[in-house]
Amino acid sequence: MSPNDHATAASAETGETAGRAAAGSGAGAPSDGKAEVQSSGQARRLLSRDGNWWWNGRRWIPATTEDGLWKWDGGRWRPSVSLEGRRPEDLAATLAVLAEDRYAEAGAYLAIRIADWQPEGGLRDLADQAREVGERLRRVDDALSSDGQAARGGGILGRRGVPYGDRRQLEEERDALRSEYRALTARVGREAPQPSVKEADDILGAARNLDERAALLTNGLAEVDEAERMRADSAVAAQKALAAAEEARLKALQEARRAVEAAEAGHAWAVAEARGRLRSVLTPGSGELKAGLGLLRLHATLLETPNGRLPAAGLSAYADTAPQLWREHRNTLSDLVLLETPEAENFLTALSEGSSTLFLLITGSTGALLWASPPGQEKGAKRFAAVVTEHSREAIAARHEREGRARKAENELETVTRDRSGIEGSEAELARIEADAGLLGEIDEAKQRLERARADTPELGDARRKVQELVGKVTAPPEPLQVAK
């Protein structure tokens, strides 16, 4: 401690009296604001001028913690750097930077006092290099400082300032030398053995203290990261297991739904096929051509006429004159006459005139036909009537056979339509899969595993508590300095 610092403390009252005043002890001490201001002023006067020492009433003790993080202001510890509210990562980086500053500071001491600690080998070369770079840096600083004084004073003893280009070059050289000097002195500080030089060893102690705490925080954060990574890996695995369980159930459901759809489609196709077979039986088509007369065409199943079709089964055909047909089929012809068709008009004319014109009358269950035979085709008309009557019996037999096949097709259609066993079986399987306790249980278990995996693990909790404890130790101020008793 410098004599001036001692003098500052000695200018207070006696040591013990000053100590009691700083502690706020003593009988009859004033309690008003003025007394508090006086006490605060006395406490500040107990600090050395540089603030690094404090008089405790008996001796001078350090007013700065070894690591340099806290300074005693006479009444309490104040942080030298901002520590509160900082993230552990930032705090570790701050401690590492402060440690590097201490190493560089100690290295600077050691570089100019090589003879006092006598390093050997590569360490001596490193210290020499740091000293040389430091000397070059001082020369550049001196040059820039002298140039600044010359510029402000208009020149000292006729000295001119450094040209702008040279000054800029010097500034760039100074920046490069500062960076190199810091790196070299920090290396010297880190590699220097202890003991070396008292001043350097004191700084190195603080540097290593900061370095150790930065390393502890960094390692603690690494443990947190590892625990979080393991938790994340477990969560990813659990998420995959959950996705697999859900996928398995979804796949089973999709297959069951496709089976239901296939069963429904199969049933619809079978019904459509049965309907088609019934329709083909009920509508066999015209069939083979049996005979023809003018515009009349007799097929296996029907008779085509200019006015429509008549089923071949049950037809009766008669070829005769109008008076003869009227006597034998009066009722049927009366109905046809009511229709006032051209054929009916011709028939009435022939009937009233007693004409010998030949008419063809065809009757069936669904209607009747009257057709006038052109002159010269009387034989053909009679032959056509005979063929129609004869074929009618064959058509009736075919119709009976067709009706039997139709009843069979109807029964088949009804059976196919009512048979939903395939659909019901597929729907039952779908319902079973939807309520499958095994598939649902696997999903529930996977969800529970995922929740457990996402929760904080004991390892993660321990790692975080460890980091918080380290942060608390770094950011908590030391015990207050006490006045000696």
pLDDT tens, residue by residue, 314-367 = 999 999 999 999 999 999 999 999 988 889 999 999 999 999 999 999 999 888
- Residue 233 included in any domain: no
Kindly tell me if the per-residue pLDDT of 42 is higher than 80.
no
**Euclidean distance between the first and the last CA atom of the chain, given in angstroms as a whole number:** 23
Between these two residues, 50 and 7, which has the higher pLDDT value?
50
- Residue 251 included in any domain: no
Same domain, 8 and 109: no
**Percent of the chain at pLDDT above 70?**
87
- Residue 25 included in any domain: yes
pLDDT score recorded for residue 147: 63
End position of a domain, from candidates 48, 63, 78: 63
Token digits of residue 287: 């069939």
Long-range contacts of 71-80, Cβ-Cβ distance < 8 Å, separation of 24 or more: 72/47, 72/481, 73/43, 73/44, 73/47, 74/22, 74/40, 74/43, 74/44, 74/46, 74/47, 75/22, 75/40, 75/43, 76/477, 76/480, 77/477, 77/478, 77/480, 79/477
Q: How many domains does the chain have?
A: 3
Could you list the residue range(s) of the whole structural domain that residue 173 is in? 88-196
Kindly tell me if the per-residue pLDDT of 172 is higher than 90.
yes
- Residue 106 included in any domain: yes
Same domain, 175 and 139: yes
Distance between CA atoms of residues 425 and 264, nearest Å: 11
Between these two residues, 462 and 164, which has the higher pLDDT value?
462
Number of H helices and E strands in the chain, helices first, is: 15, 11
- Residue 274 included in any domain: no
Query: How far is CA 36 from its chain centroid?
Result: 63
Give the burial class of 233: count Cβ atoms within 10 A of its Cβ; 0-12 exposed, 13-18 middle, 19 or more buried.
Answer: exposed
Same domain, 120 and 49: no
Strand partners, 311: 302
Of 146-160, 296-310, 332-346, which gets the smallest average pLDDT?
146-160
- If we measure between CA atoms, which residue out of 48, 53, 69, 112 comes closest to residue 206? 69
Kindly tell me if the per-residue pLDDT of 16 is higher than 70.
no
Given CA atoms 189, 190, 192, 197 in this order, what sign does their dihedral have?
A: positive
Is the separation of the CB atoms in 357 and 321 below 8 Å?
A: yes
For residue 306, is the peptide bond before it cis, meaning its omega torsion is within 30 degrees of 0? no
5 sits in which H/E element: helix 3-10
pLDDT score recorded for residue 322: 93
Kindly tell me if the per-residue pLDDT of 155 is higher than 90.
no
**Percent of the chain at pLDDT above 90?**
64
Same domain, 336 and 399: yes
Mean pLDDT value of segment 229-234: 93
Same domain, 117 and 11: no
Same domain, 57 and 93: no
Same domain, 20 and 92: no
CA angle at 170 for the pair 166 and 171, rounded to the nearest 5°: 120
- Residue 134 included in any domain: yes
What number of other Cβ atoms are within 10 A of residue 38's Cβ?
A: 12
In this prediction, residue 456 has a pLDDT band, given cuts at 50, 70 and 90, of confident
- Residue 332 included in any domain: yes
End position of a domain, from candidates 134, 169, 196: 196
Between these two residues, 32 and 402, which has the higher pLDDT value?
402
- Residue 345 included in any domain: yes
